[in-house]
Amino acid sequence: MEHLPLFISIKHKPCLVVGGGVVAARKTRLLLARGGRVTVVAPELDAGLQARQAEFCWLEQGFAEHHLDGQFLVVAATDNAEVNARVYQLANRRGILVNKADDSKRSAVIFPSIVERFPLQIAFSTGGGAPWLARLLRAGLDALLPRHWGALARVAGRLRRQVQQAFASPAERRRFWARVQDDPALTALLQQQDESGAEAWLRREMDQPSRGEVILVGAGPGDPDLLTIKALNELQKAEVVLFDQLVSEEILALIRPEAELIAVGKKAGHHSVPQEQINRLLVEQALAGKRVVRLKGGDPFMFGRGAEELQSLKAAGIRYQVVPGITAAAGATAYAGIPLTHRDHAQSAVFITGHCKQDGAEPDWASLARGRQTLVIYMGLMRSAHIRQQLMQHGLDGATPVALIERGTTVRQKLVRGELRELAELAERVASPALMVIGEVAALADSLAWFRPHAAEAPPAVERCG
């Protein structure tokens, strides 16, 4: 990449635009918006330029070398390639910053795509090689960035010195901003354009004692693209992250590099860190004043013991938030082409865990064996023979379609199909983490599976038993 990204002030600086067409109009608007003193050299003006003629100096003539005298920045934007090349050569020879429109190889300066929430600006470029991609990125970032962040940046700028005085260390200041930036009260004031009210609210918050907080975050079923925007935001603000075994490396890579990572992984059949110790770690880190993210696969309230962790935080008087995630039952089945409900096959869906309670209590197998519903079983591989036996004993037909989805939504996804009577044999062909889907909708994977985890040209892999 030969261009160095810079933010350069052109306020009150002389800028020359050679050309009067649509491209020249676009460049002129950009220069005027940044405070440049713009001169346009062109025999004729585009209608858009004519409407703003009072804002710049128009020289109604063709380009000549003397037009470069005293210019800080020059844009060659005519529809004549020879004229543009001459402007570039002459300006480059004089050491003037020059942009040759739509020709990054002949430009000392290129205009990036910009997403703006004044005074916040994000600028990016593909070096002129893929402008369509730059437009796509711009649209995506524009949709992601909250509209009130510009007001937040302005208020933060005015309070910068007060924040530095209130919080001695950079870590304390970062913790303060992480705590307040998404507070509903502050967001409401900024969205209402009440910046003075926002300043007053922030001053009051500066006087509050420093305190830790825990954010319970659902990492989704595995595909990092399924992480919610709020979850990603929290990963970027975390000082400490306690994460489970099911959280993928791709998602861990999105965590702020300075954050401390603590593995508290759980696998089927054993817990490397007891739940009581996890609860204690959360309390200890929060009491130390840190912003803690508890990162759990799927959704933290779907067989994830999230409520137990919140109860320990509540008992210790620690603030907490919950960021939902896409649960495996929704994510993995969607990627496997299995609808949880279908008006011809299933009017309801039931989610259960394959783990027994400590007292050995069994679920209501009679209700689970009813027809025209979808049964989704988390963590059921180790008890597949028992599950098959109980469902068939309580009336569910052994020919009921079954699907097992291993590592759903990831590049290692594996889908195995068969019938309920084959469930134990199917379970031997997949590894944890895997999801069981039992019901007529499971058969739809044979025709509706769309996700190609291994190769774009290969058909979706649906293995059939037998």
| CB contact at 8 A, 100 and 84 | yes
Give the alpha-carbon dihedral of 301, 354, 246, 297, to 10 degrees.
-20
Question: Cα Rg for the chain, rounded, in angstroms?
Answer: 30
Classify burial at 395, counting beta carbons within 10 Å of its beta carbon; exposed 0-12, middle 13-18, buried 19 or more: exposed
User: What is the sign, positive or negative, of the torsion defined by CA atoms of 431, 432, 433, 437?
Assistant: positive
Specify the pLDDT at position 206.
Answer: 93
Closest CA to 345 of 317, 374, 321, 370: 374
Give the alpha-carbon dihedral of 210, 150, 226, 374, to 10 degrees.
90
pLDDT in tens, 77-126: 999 999 999 999 999 999 999 998 877 777 888 888 889 888 988 888 88
Would you say residue 269 has pLDDT above 60?
no
- Region 262-283 average pLDDT: 81
Specify the pLDDT at position 298.
Answer: 94
Would you say residue 29 has pLDDT above 50?
yes
Comparing 5-19, 122-136, 175-189, 196-210, the range with the smallest average pLDDT is: 122-136
Specify the pLDDT at position 135.
Answer: 87
Q: How many angstroms separate the CA atoms of 196 and 393, rounded? A: 69
- Region 349-357 average pLDDT: 84
Mean pLDDT rounded to a whole number for the chain? 91
> HSE (CB half, 13 Å, CA atoms) of 394?
15
Query: What angle, rounded to 10 degrees, do the helices at 184-191 and 149-158 form?
Result: 100
| CB contact at 8 A, 63 and 82 | no
**Is-above-0.85 flag for pTM?**
no
Comparing 77-86, 94-103, 328-337, 426-435, the range with the smallest average pLDDT is: 94-103
The residue among 404 and 179 whose pLDDT is bigger is: 404
Question: 339: cis peptide before it, omega within 30°?
Answer: no
Please, which residues have CB within 8 angstroms of residue 232's CB and are 6 or more apart in sequence?
254
Would you say residue 359 has pLDDT above 70?
no
| CB contact at 8 A, 290 and 175 | yes
Would you say residue 461 has pLDDT above 70?
no
Would you say residue 408 has pLDDT above 90?
yes
Specify the pLDDT at position 134.
Answer: 85
- Region 165-176 average pLDDT: 89
Specify the pLDDT at position 112.
Answer: 86
The residue among 415 and 1 whose pLDDT is bigger is: 415
pLDDT in tens, 32-76: 999 999 999 999 999 989 999 999 999 999 999 999 999 999 999
Catalytic residue, chosen from 237, 266, 290, 414, is 266
For residue 7, give the amino acid letter.
F
Specify the pLDDT at position 457.
Answer: 47
Sheet holding 240-243, edge to edge: 260-263, 240-243, 291-296, 213-218, 319-323
pLDDT band per the 50, 70, 90 thresholds, residue 459:
low
Specify the pLDDT at position 437.
Answer: 98
Catalytic residue, chosen from 27, 244, 296, 414, is 244
Would you say residue 456 has pLDDT above 50?
no
| Whether residue 207 lies in the annotated active site | no
pLDDT band per the 50, 70, 90 thresholds, residue 271:
low
| CB contact at 8 A, 307 and 421 | no
pLDDT band per the 50, 70, 90 thresholds, residue 434:
very high
Q: How many angstroms separate the CA atoms of 450 and 459, rounded? A: 8
Alpha helices in 34-145 (DSSP H): 47-51, 81-93, 131-144
| Whether residue 230 lies in the annotated active site | no
pLDDT band per the 50, 70, 90 thresholds, residue 334:
very high
